[in-house]
Chains A and B, each alone.
Chain A
């Protein structure tokens, strides 16, 4: 599905959802949820027997004991759950659409950061420059660094770059071996084509040299 038709589809679904919500809000069945009249109200002696339903009362399916919720409530709950799901789906589609709009695939460049083992390097921050212009600077908290060590991947940059050759320089700061302040850089020259470009900054341990290693990988 192309971009325009997706946008139209999302707007259409949003409209339908809004109408459904409006209808649900004004439905008399929702506005006046009927109490279990026969069972709950203490009937006066002169009144009709408790078992006799009122002429316009709903069928008292779950009235005795009121253990299970009435069928109307169950349906209502299902409807609400359905609407919630629709809202979540719509929100997801809007997010994707926004990303496509702001970062169209033909100019999109995304940079991810991953970390392996981390015995020789405790990550503090990463700065990214593309064509000598700083595009991202991220300070990692202990929790975020832990998440990376557990296999997490962080999208540190998402932006637009023209088609052609670009140079990416990443600076990593943190604590190196023997708790020393450590700052290293890694460079990659990449060719931006017509499609989206994905690059990965990878921090690994070089056991033989007892040093961390910093790489930039181009995902073709």
Chain B
């Protein structure tokens, strides 16, 4: 019985360790249409710190996270931070309505086919990543709970200082 438990624990640890991660790697480039009809490309923000937030209307955590990200955007926009919200797998009209109801001021992009989410190995919603000035993913957070925004701020300040 003990050996079975040990084996299960080892397998569990192996599964966690083998979970694919893009940390430390160059962020996959994407171009997506925004709410204003304009296309935005991630690589065009090279030289700035970019926070990409993958969200969905049905993910309850997104409702909590988006206002926090909006506050971060308002404070750090002038310091060189770019916040991009990416709606995943949803009709752009509905996503637009939802974003309007949340009153966010940062650009919202529509990944209707979920191709970008796939490139970023998205497994759970919401997911927030931080891309440094060189285009490398330096931080990723899956899900959202109160207090996570403090970790975002720590990492953002560190990246802005670089």
List the 5 closest A-B pairs by CB distance, nearest first. A139-B31, A139-B39, A141-B39, A141-B41, A143-B44
B residues near A138, Cβ cutoff 8 Å: 31
Q: Residue A205 at the B interface, CB < 8 A? A: no
Would you mind naming 19 contact pairs between A and B with Cβ atoms under 8 Å apart? A124-B39, A125-B39, A139-B31, A139-B32, A139-B33, A139-B39, A139-B41, A140-B31, A140-B39, A141-B31, A141-B38, A141-B39, A141-B40, A141-B41, A141-B44, A142-B38, A142-B39, A143-B41, A144-B41
What residue of chain A has the Cβ atom nearest to residue B41's Cβ? A141
Secondary structure call for the A interface: mixed
What residue of chain B has the Cβ atom nearest to residue A145's Cβ? B39
Secondary structure call for the B interface: strand
Per-residue CB contact flags for chain B residues 10-49 toward chain A (1 = under 8 Å, else 0) read 0000000000000000000001110000111100100000
B residues near A143, Cβ cutoff 8 Å: 41, 44
A145 to chain B, nearest CB (A): 9
B112 to chain A, nearest CB (A): 12
Point out residues on B near A: beta carbons under 8 Å: 31-33, 38-41, 44
- Give bound CA distance, A145 to B94, whole Å: 28
Q: A141-B39, A142-B39, A143-B41 are in contact. List 13 more A-B contacts (CB 8 A).
A: A124-B39, A138-B31, A139-B31, A139-B32, A139-B33, A139-B41, A140-B31, A141-B31, A141-B38, A141-B40, A142-B38, A143-B44, A144-B41
B residues near A124, Cβ cutoff 8 Å: 39
A residues near B38, Cβ cutoff 8 Å: 141-142
- Give bound CA distance, A143 to B39, whole Å: 10
Residue of B33, B38, B39 contacting most chain A CB atoms (<10 Å): B39
Near B by CB (< 8 A), chain A positions 127-167 give 138-144
- Give bound CA distance, A180 to B126, whole Å: 35
- Give bound CA distance, A142 to B40, whole Å: 8
A residues near B31, Cβ cutoff 8 Å: 138-141
What residue of chain A has the Cβ atom nearest to residue B34's Cβ? A141
A127 to chain B, nearest CB (A): 13
- Give bound CA distance, A63 to B40, whole Å: 56
A154 to chain B, nearest CB (A): 12
B31 to chain A, nearest CB (A): 4
- Give bound CA distance, A125 to B39, whole Å: 9
A residues near B39, Cβ cutoff 8 Å: 124-125, 139-142
A residues near B44, Cβ cutoff 8 Å: 141, 143
A132 to chain B, nearest CB (A): 20
- Give bound CA distance, A143 to B41, whole Å: 10
B residues near A141, Cβ cutoff 8 Å: 31, 38-41, 44
What residue of chain B has the Cβ atom nearest to residue A138's Cβ? B31
A residues near B33, Cβ cutoff 8 Å: 139
B residues near A144, Cβ cutoff 8 Å: 41
What residue of chain B has the Cβ atom nearest to residue A142's Cβ? B38
- Give bound CA distance, A125 to B38, whole Å: 11
